[in-house]
Amino acid sequence: MNYEQIVKDNEKLIWKISQHFYGIPKEDLFQAGVLGLLKALKNYKSDSSTKFSTYAHDYIFGEMYLLSSNRNIKISKDILKLYKKIETSRYILAQKIGKIPNNLELSEVLGLDLFTLEEALMSAKTIMSLDNATKEDRDAYEIISAPEYDIDSKILIDDSFKVLSNDERLIIKSRYYEDLTQQEVARKLKMTQVMVSRYEKKGIEKMKEYIML
């Protein structure tokens, strides 16, 4: 099997996926993408009805995402906002036409080409599957996202942590990820309960503002 030719044939796909990430040298992302491509090749069944490039997308994206996570660099917010927009539109359209719309119908409604729409869906779902495999279940988004914001993506919640101060981050993670009371957090961080309450409220507001930008 000519691996060099396979990489060459999928080079454009790897570079395109790398555009979703920032703050990392493109050469490093490309190498991570090649690793993902070869992993996909190893697991791909030749008699599959799925095109190899479609099958390989998740593997390529996954390796780049792991690289970005290890370097504490986040995926482009644009892809997450697009995913949210697609899923919201899917729900609204389903109410109108009485059935769940397919991706082609959604692309026409949103004015997106089908490839862009499907790539956004695959990218976001890859992140979610990676997060579920590497992190404990979290429900912070259920508390941080007030009903009027209608925010259903905990990935975007995770991304918003970067706008917090160190104290705000520690308090919110202790409160909603570790399920500690304000008194327990105060003891843990050697603060007063009033300070914990103030930092928590301020941090949540900053996260909401970031998400709604």
Q: Does domain 144-211 have CATH number 1.10.10.10?
A: yes
Question: pLDDT per residue over 48-99, tens digit each?
Answer: 788 888 888 888 888 887 777 655 444 556 677 787 788 888 878 888 888 8
Residue 186: pLDDT above 50? Answer: yes
Average pLDDT, the chain: 76
Residue type, 151: I
Q: Does domain 3-70 have CATH number 3.30.1490.20?
A: no
How far is it, in rounded angstroms, from Cα 21 to Cα 43?
25
- pLDDT at position 137 is 38
Question: pLDDT per residue over 140-167, tens digit each?
Answer: 444 444 333 333 445 566 677 788 898 9
Question: pLDDT per residue over 2-35, tens digit each?
Answer: 677 888 899 999 998 888 877 788 888 888 888 8
Find all residues with CB under 8 Å of 58, minimum gap 6, and list them. 40, 122, 125, 126, 129
Residue 185: pLDDT above 80? Answer: yes
Looking at mean pLDDT, say which of 72-76, 132-136, 188-192 comes out highest.
188-192
Q: Does domain 77-135 have CATH number 3.30.420?
A: no
Domain ranges of the chain: 3-70, 77-135, 144-211
DSSP conformational letter for 111: T
Question: pLDDT per residue over 114-133, tens digit each?
Answer: 877 877 777 666 655 555 44
Q: Which helix (H) or strand (E) holds 93?
A: helix 77-97
User: Are 77-135 and 144-211 in the same CATH fold?
Assistant: yes
Residue 139: pLDDT above 70? Answer: no
pTM above 0.75, yes or no: no
- pLDDT at position 197 is 87
Instruction: Tell the residue number behind the tokens 């790398």, with chain if given.
Output: 18
Residue 101: pLDDT above 70? Answer: yes
- pLDDT at position 14 is 92
- pLDDT at position 156 is 61
